[in-house]
Amino acid sequence: MPRRGRRWPGALRAATAVALPGVAGLALGHGPVAATAALGAFAVVYGEGRAYRARWKVVMFVAAVLVALAGLGAGVGTLVHSGSEWTWLLLVAAMTAVVAVGAFLVDALRFGAPGAFLPLLTLEIAAALPSAGVPVGAVVSWTAAGAGTAVVVSMSGAVTRPRTPERAAVAAAVNAVDACLRAPAEIGPRHEAVRALHAAWMCLHDGRLGESAHPLTRTLRAAHLRLATVVAGTDEGAASETDDLRPQPPLPRPSARYRLARAARPGSRSWTIVIRLVVAGPAAGALALACGVGRPDWAVITAAMVLHQGPDRVLGSYRGLHRFAGTVAGLGVLAAVVWAAPTAVALVVVVAVLLAGTEEYLVRNYGVAMVFITPLALLLGGAGVPHDLAGVARDRLLETVIGVLVAVTVLWLVLPFAHRRVLRCADARVAETVATIVQARTTGERTVLPELRRDLEFDLHAATTAAIVAAHTEPGWTRDRWPEHRRLHETGYRVLAHPA
């Protein structure tokens, strides 16, 4: 389980975003339904690690999406629970569409974890609430209350300590670099150090400090150079093949328009993810219904969560095992909560703790995160503790097995050679951007070079990711392709090293 710096402040913010509207709702006599505010409170998770200048935009956008999805889910859930058994396919279709669109956007924009997971979970939980007697208006209202609280809590330190996110990101990166340099031959610490450096640079860029002489920038640049000198050498025109580490700091992200346009091209990794989700969602839902499970939505969300971040075959298979093991342990946690028979206030506290645990582990270990997510989803979806624990546990286990089996099958059999196409396309984009930069320099179009260099670095990172996925999936083919990929990689970084 990789360390990711100090995560307890984020976990505390997540718990607070649930507890404040939940306890207030109980004080006003609304009962356990006030815990539904947790659906909107999910938005606070997306602000973690971001500078305040960018955080408010991200959290507000996600909050609005969560409120809309809660309304959609509750509306679909009302139709489903008042219709025949096969009207569940309407919910399956809605969940598949939401996760497909969400996964495309997350992968295209490099949004990172938790990606499309929490929006899909919001839709799924909201769809379950009408069967517990919660009207659509109440679902939307409490989700909005949690979303509004999430925005306030997420930005709570902006006035008194406006640079806290940047300080925390730089400190985490420096600590990760120090840990790596104590054991430079070990792969795990090196990857964590490179990841932490990149996250810190993006945080500084978002805070408008990345290209300044601020003390935080100088500290991060010194740590970056220490690691790059040991791992990648001092050649400014070269970068390590597996993690793109080079002496020069990473550039800011290219525009959202550029990233979306790249992802929209045929053959992109984003389209591969979408196609697999569109196949896996309906297959898991239909199979769950055929097996007589009362609620097929858990099978759909299981399959989607294995696939939505585009893992290779090996990592995706491990992720399926994590999903199953975490669900089993999470049902044990749910059993303990049912045994304790919590009051309404205690239930809000339990939900707040579970969301805090989710925030703490979701980007570190998916299996451990599921220990918190499973009881969280079942408590919220039932507007309290379930009355038939044995039935709920049986159905959830069966649906988890179905979802995992469908996801792994799709991962191995649907577009089995997609990794080849994705790597070829990624390398072709690098070659295209290099040619554009060379032409701009030849014709004297200097004003477009900064943007083109950002685009090139983004394309180089995408090509490296594609190469790693291909190496995990089909080592023999990748070995034959590697010389061409390496040549483009070296050419790209040579071009990138010269601003003019």
pLDDT score at 346: 85
CA distance 100 to 227: 38
- State the SS3 of the chain: CCCCCCCHHHHHHHHHHHHHHHHHHHHCCCHHHHHHHHHHHHHHHHHCCCCHHHHHHHHHHHHHHHHHHHHHHHHHHHHHHCCCHHHHHHHHHHHHHHHHHHHHHHHHHCCCCCCCHHHHHHHHHHHHHHHHCCCHHHHHHHHHHHHHHHHHHHCCCCCCCCCHHHHHHHHHHHHHHHHHHHCCCCHHHHHHHHHHHHHHHHHHHHCCCCCCCCHHHHHHHHHHHHHHHHHCCCCCCCCCCCCCCCCCCCCCCCCHHHHHHHHHCCCCHHHHHHHHHHHHHHHHHHHHHHCCCCCCHHHHHHHHHHHCCCCCHHHHHHHHHHHHHHHHHHHHHHHHHHHHCCCHHHHHHHHHHHHHHHHHHCCCCHHHHHHHHHHHHHHHHCCCCCCCHHHHHHHHHHHHHHHHHHHHHHHHHCCCCHHHHHHHHHHHHHHHHHHHHHHHHHHCCHHHHHHHHHHHHHHHHHHHHHHHHHHHHCHHHHHHHHHHHHHHHHHHHHHHCCCC
Q: Which residue has the higher pLDDT, 5 or 122?
A: 122
pLDDT at 1 over 60: no
Q: Which residue has the higher pLDDT, 67 or 29?
A: 67
- Residues 130-153 have a mean pLDDT of 91
The structure tokens 């091209």 sit at 265
Q: Which residues contact 332 (CB under 8 A, 6 or more apart)?
A: none
Q: Which of 163-177, 236-250, 334-348, 431-445 has the lowest mean pLDDT?
A: 236-250
pLDDT score at 145: 92
Give the model's confidence band at 119: pLDDT under 50 very low, under 70 low, under 90 confident, else very high.
very high
pLDDT at 54 over 60: yes
Distances in Å between the Cα of 57 and the Cα atoms of 61, 63, 197 are 6, 10, 23
pLDDT at 144 over 80: yes
CA distance 36 to 317: 33
Q: Could you tell me which of 328, 335, 311 has the C-alpha nearest to residue 401?
A: 328
CA distance 231 to 180: 10
pLDDT tens, residue by residue, 423-454: 999 999 999 999 999 998 888 888 888 899 99
pLDDT tens, residue by residue, 398-413: 999 999 999 999 999 9
- Residues 289-303 have a mean pLDDT of 87
Give the model's confidence band at 311: pLDDT under 50 very low, under 70 low, under 90 confident, else very high.
confident
pTM for this entry = 0.90
Give the model's confidence band at 228: pLDDT under 50 very low, under 70 low, under 90 confident, else very high.
confident
pLDDT score at 386: 72
- Residues 14-18 have a mean pLDDT of 85
- Residues 69-95 have a mean pLDDT of 87
pLDDT at 394 over 60: yes
CA distance 4 to 196: 8
Q: Which residues contact 488 (CB under 8 A, 6 or more apart)?
A: 427, 430, 431, 434, 463
- Residues 355-360 have a mean pLDDT of 86
pLDDT at 384 over 70: no
Question: What is the average pLDDT score of the chain?
Answer: 88
pLDDT at 274 over 80: yes
Assess whether the previous peptide bond of 247 is cis (omega < 30° from 0). no
CA distance 35 to 31: 9
Q: Which of 48-52, 276-280, 345-349 has the lowest mean pLDDT?
A: 345-349
pLDDT score at 231: 74
Q: Provide the percentage of residues in the chain whose pLDDT is more than 90.
A: 48
pLDDT at 246 over 70: yes
Give the model's confidence band at 383: pLDDT under 50 very low, under 70 low, under 90 confident, else very high.
low
- Residues 343-361 have a mean pLDDT of 86
Give the model's confidence band at 5: pLDDT under 50 very low, under 70 low, under 90 confident, else very high.
low
- Specify whether the CB–CB gap between 241 and 470 falls below 8 A: no
pLDDT at 475 over 90: yes
